[in-house]
Amino acid sequence: MKLVIYLKRVILSEAKDLLFVARAQTLDGKSSLKAKSYPMRKPNENHPLAGTRILVGRARHQAGSLSTSLRSLGASVTEIPFIEICKPQSYRPLDDALKNIKSYHWLILTSANGVEAMWERVRKLRITRRTLKHLQIAAIGPATKKAIVKHGLKVKMVPEEYVAESVVKGLREKVNGKRVLLVRAKVARDVIPEELRAAGAEVDVVEAYETVLPEKSRVRLRALMKSAARRPHVVTFTSSSTAKNFAELLGTFKAGSLSAGLLKNVQFASIGPVTSATLRELQLPVAIQAHEFTMGGLIRAIVLARYAETSA
């Protein structure tokens, strides 16, 4: 509830200043983001997203917080998960690393899912918090930090921008000669381990979970996108995995093209530049990108962009 109240205050303040983030089409057809000024309609203080249909594609156990905030702002929300969080094929690499946790100087966690999956193994192996107290811990963003702190651990570093490149920037000068444990999903970019190794660190990468395609979502998604009356105005993407799986689930992703009819008048909203890059690779134009790469930042960007649409 505090997030919703905060967002309303920030959104309304910016609306009164006539500032918002809008889509701009470049000559090659790609989307970019520009700050522009337009006369805006008077904000609906209680429900700034009234009349807006939004599709939330987060994993089922995570969709609730984003959906609740959007509904509180007046949106009509449909939840269809684009990803499913599963256990890895084997916990042995993670368990071995945790059993030898005293040998590591830094622990890097890149998602709340990773934190919870790791902590499940910590409990299973009966590892105490005291055993982990020596670690310098880096979290990729505030949601990850919150998940870590919830388990009684302190976070040493959160980067200025919540992407892998910013994690590297914050740690590059601190890890020479140090052992680093990176706990992450099975499929992820290798920016962090490659760059930190180049900086002189010994980095071990272990998977705590994997994301898979939820086949049950395929029929629901196609039916939703085929219905002009129910088709969302905005589809949210919170990771590259959600973008890739959306295209796969839609089933029309072939030879680099998507059915224009199914995507008519649909805007794609991205949580940050990495997810946006994946969307563009899939030839899905990015209409909205969060300035702050968090759920709150994504919601704020959607509201401001929708004001722009109705006021232009």
Cβ–Cβ < 8 Å for 156, 170: no
- The CATH label, of 3.40.720.10, 3.30.70.260, 3.20.20.70, 3.40.50.10090, for the domain at 2-83+214-311 is 3.40.50.10090
Q: What pLDDT sits at residue 115? A: 94
Which position has the token pair 């444990």? 181
pLDDT (mean) for 248-274: 75
With contact defined as beta carbons under 8 Å apart, do 248 and 240 qualify? Answer: no
- pLDDT at position 66 is 86
Where in the chain are the domains? 2-83+214-311, 86-210
Please give the average per-residue pLDDT across 197-212, as a whole number: 93
> Tens of pLDDT along 208-254?
998 889 999 999 999 999 898 999 999 999 988 899 999 999 875 44
Average pLDDT over the chain, rounded to an integer: 82
| Shared fold status for 2-83+214-311 and 86-210 | yes
Chain centre to alpha carbon of residue 100:
31
**CB atoms inside a 10 Å sphere around CB 22:** 19
Residue 24's pLDDT band (boundaries 50, 70, 90)?
very low
Burial of residue 20 (CB within 10 Å: 0-12, 13-18, 19+) is buried
Lowest mean pLDDT among 34-38, 137-141, 246-250: 34-38
Question: Could you tell me the pTM of the whole model?
Answer: 0.74
DSSP secondary structure letters along the chain: -HHHHHHHHHHHHHHHTTEEEEEEE-TTS-EEEEEEE---PPP-SS-TTTT-EEEE-S-TTTHHHHHHHHHHTT-EEEE--S-EEE--S--HHHHHHHHTGGG-SEEEE--HHHHHHHHHHHHHTT--HHHHTT-EEEESSHHHHHHHHHTT----B--SSSSHHHHHHHHTTT-TT-EEEEEEESS--SHHHHHHHHTT-EEEEEEEEEEE--TTHHHHHHHHHH-TTT--SEEEE-SHHHHHHHHHHHS--BTTB--TGGGTT-EEEESSHHHHHHHHHTT--EEEE-SSSSHHHHHHHHHHHHHHHHH-
Mean pLDDT (whole number) for 47-72: 83
Tell me the fold of 86-210. Rossmann fold (3.40.50)
Tell me the one-letter amino acid at 149.
V
CA distance 20 to 288: 10
